[in-house]
Each structure stands twice: as structure tokens, then as C-alpha cells.
Amino acid sequence: MSRILVIYRSKYGVTKEYATYLGEHVGAEVKSYKDVTKKDIMDAQVVVFGGSIYVSRVAILKTVKRYQKSLVSKKVYLFTVGITETAELAISRIKTVYPYLDDYHFKDIFFYPGSMDITHMNWIHRNMLTMVQKMLSKKTDMTEDEKKFYDAITYPNNNKDMSLMNPLIEQLESTIYA
């Protein structure tokens, strides 16, 4: 039976919730990127990285890079969390921002919708988003993407949907019992 490790990086807890749900459903160990050790990685056969998207950046990829050599013989997956409207768009954007992504040989990459509530954010994010909101509100020709971001800043939203994890859970289950 394969040992699965889920490593997450989450600022406001949404990615952590997805990681915890996944761990419960496939019997995996779940750890924050801050607590994970090289031994944890060496002991696992399957490693799932989960990280949220901030300004088109996926900071968990720093952890993937750090352990890249130890991951060579493992089955490695990535899931990301954000407010981009579709998984296709989110994943294609991540691939543009990180052109070396293929070097990590992820077996699959997933995207799950997150949530945003400006009132629960730290002051840096609150100020940053308030500035973006003001800037966008002056635009008469917002793109679909900008409109979506503006709405997400303006109206607290929660688009978490654990059922979207089913395809990843199925892939992991087939690995466990292979």
C-alpha cells in the first residue's frame, strides 16, 4: 500500500481545508510546508502539494523546488486554490508564470475555487485589494477577469467545493491499491 503525504501552504485556511479533506479521504498524512521534513518526503510514495494563488504566484512551488531531487522516484501531484473562474484558465496561467513547471513531472495538476473576504485579511492584503478595487472601479472597460476580481474583492464570497476533489481522490485511490 502506498504512503501518501499531502503538503499544503495556505494563508487564510482554504487550501488547508482542501488538504485536510483530501487527507481524510485517502488516509494521507497532511503537513504544512513549514513542518515537513526531507524524511517525510523520503518515506512517502505519493506526494500531493497544495497551494493558494496570490498575484498569479503559487508559493508552494518553492517547496516543490526545494525537495525536487527527493521527489524523483515519487508520484507527485499539485493542486492550487484561487478565484480564477475556470480550472483551465488557472492552470494555463500558472504554466505561463512558471515555464519550468514540466520539470517537476507532476502526474496531474488541479485547480479548486477558493474564497475571499477582505474583512478577514491582514492589513497588507486589505490595503492592496482596496487600492486595486479603487483602480478598477474607475475603469469603464473592465475585462471579464478584472470584473471577476473586482466582484471578489467587493462581495465576500466562498466558492469552496470539496466534491471537485473527487477526480484526484480517485487517482490516489487507484495508486493506493495498485
Smallest gap, in angstroms, from Cβ of residue 165 to ligand FMN?
14
The answer to whether the Cα torsion of 33, 39, 99, 108 is positive or negative is negative
CA distances from 170 to 44, 63, 68, 165 (A): 18, 25, 25, 9
Nearer of residues 91 and 176 to ligand FMN, judged by Cβ: 91
At which residue does the C-alpha cell 483551465 appear? 88
DSSP 51-111: EEEETTEETHHHHHHHTGGGGTTSEEEEEEEE--S-HHHHHHHHHHH-TTGGGG--SEEEE
Smallest gap, in angstroms, from Cβ of residue 152 to ligand FMN?
7
Task: Give residues 108-127 in contact with ligand FMN (rule: CB under 6 A).
Answer: 114-116, 121, 125
15 lies in the site for ligand FMN, by CB under 6 A: yes
Q: Which stretch binds ligand FMN (CB under 6 A): 24-32, 34-42, 50-58, 97-105?
A: 50-58
Nearer of residues 81 and 168 to ligand FMN, judged by Cβ: 81
List residues near ligand FMN by CB under 6 A.
10-15, 52-56, 81-84, 90, 114-116, 121, 125, 128-129
